[in-house]
Chain A
Amino acid sequence: MSGGSNAPVPYMERTRQYYRAMGYDKDYVWANNEDAPFTPLKKPLAESRVALITTASDKSQTNIDAKGVRHVWAGPTAPPPDALFTMNTAWDKESTHTDDRESFLPIETMQGFARDGRIGGLTDHFFGAPTVYSHRMTMQRHAPEILERVQADGGDVAVLSPL
């Protein structure tokens, strides 16, 4: 399936073949860019507040509406949640598990770095970004809402850890 035994897994190709096997003839089109924006650090990390962003959902799924649509959400970093809901996102449910929240949303690890003075601290909230089919929905609605929330929380930098 891949170029060699240790080649990175070709997720786009696997997903295309998977949906073709379901009988869908139109392939999903992933976002594609030749270049990317870049912002250097404005101040040392030791003085910066870090915002964490996840694709997981609230444990009680309050970020999911009656139609099953996911929305941008936020949770407290202190105290951090013991667990989050992840079953509605695509990850390798046969090879691993998400019982340890730190394995995908490292709040306590980051708090340790704050205690050590490596970072200035964490924002009061972490943020949840829905993964949706529509790039337009992500760019026009979700991304601006997350930016607004990160700024409102005084976030200087962001660490994003998609499942």
Chain B
Amino acid sequence: MSLVARHLEANGIPTVVVGSARDIVEYCGAPRFVFLDFPLGNPTGEPWKRDMQRAVVGIALDTLETASEPMQTVETDFVWPDPEWRGRYNRLTPDIRARLKAEGDARRDKQNAAKALRQK
């Protein structure tokens, strides 16, 4: 998505990315970025919280007006209600590792079978 922002920006359209994957957006170099420290999925505010959503979008609009140079992350201070969320996404426990290994093996077997079929 940051690549799309860069392309629009390079072609004369000012952009702002609003999101939560801070490392990925900053690594790519979005022209303007408003960071919401939330689980991935709700980049413009907690579900059903209209006041918060309006505040987040308002910050994005402010950033369009006030940014004077690219790649300056604007941090917001909203806090996700469940403090345990940070450890959850793509976490690896022994059970999950075993399941992922099995899924990966199954996927590779399928790909190899398809490859063998093509070569016949």
B1 to chain A, nearest CB (A): 4
Separation of A93 and B40 alpha carbons in the complex (Å): 8
Given contacts A103-B46, A106-B44, contact A135 B3 (CB under 8 A): yes
A92-B98 Cα distance, complex, nearest whole Å: 20
A-B contact count, CB below 8 Å?
A: 245
Is B74 an interface residue when CB atoms closer than 8 A count as contact?
Answer: no
Number of interface residues of B (CB under 8 A): 75
Q: Give the interface residue-count category, chain A.
A: 35 or more
B14 near A118 with CB under 8 A, answer no
By a CB distance below 8 angstroms, the chain A residues around B21 are 11, 162
CB distance from B31 to the nearest CB of A (A): 5
Q: Are B4 and A96 in contact (CB under 8 A)?
A: no
Say how far B58's CB is from chain A's closest CB, in angstroms.
Answer: 7
Stretch from A27-35, A62-70, A73-81 at the B interface? A27-35
Q: Check B8–A22 contact: CB distance below 8 A.
A: no
Among B11, B45, B60, B70, the residue within 8 A (CB) of A35 is B70
Closest Cβ neighbor of A50 among chain B residues: B61
Q: Scan residues 78-109 of chain A and give those whose CB is less than 8 A from a CB of chain B.
A: 86, 90-100, 102-106, 109
| A to B CB contacts below 8 Å, 21 in the list | A8-B23, A11-B24, A11-B90, A12-B23, A22-B104, A23-B100, A35-B70, A36-B6, A36-B31, A39-B9, A98-B47, A104-B43, A112-B54, A129-B1, A135-B3, A146-B8, A147-B7, A151-B13, A158-B5, A158-B8, A159-B16
Q: Which residues of A contact B (CB under 8 A)?
A: 1-2, 5-6, 8-12, 14-15, 17-18, 21-24, 30-42, 45, 51, 53, 55, 86, 90-100, 102-106, 109-110, 112-113, 118-119, 129, 131, 135, 138-139, 142-144, 146-147, 150-151, 155-163
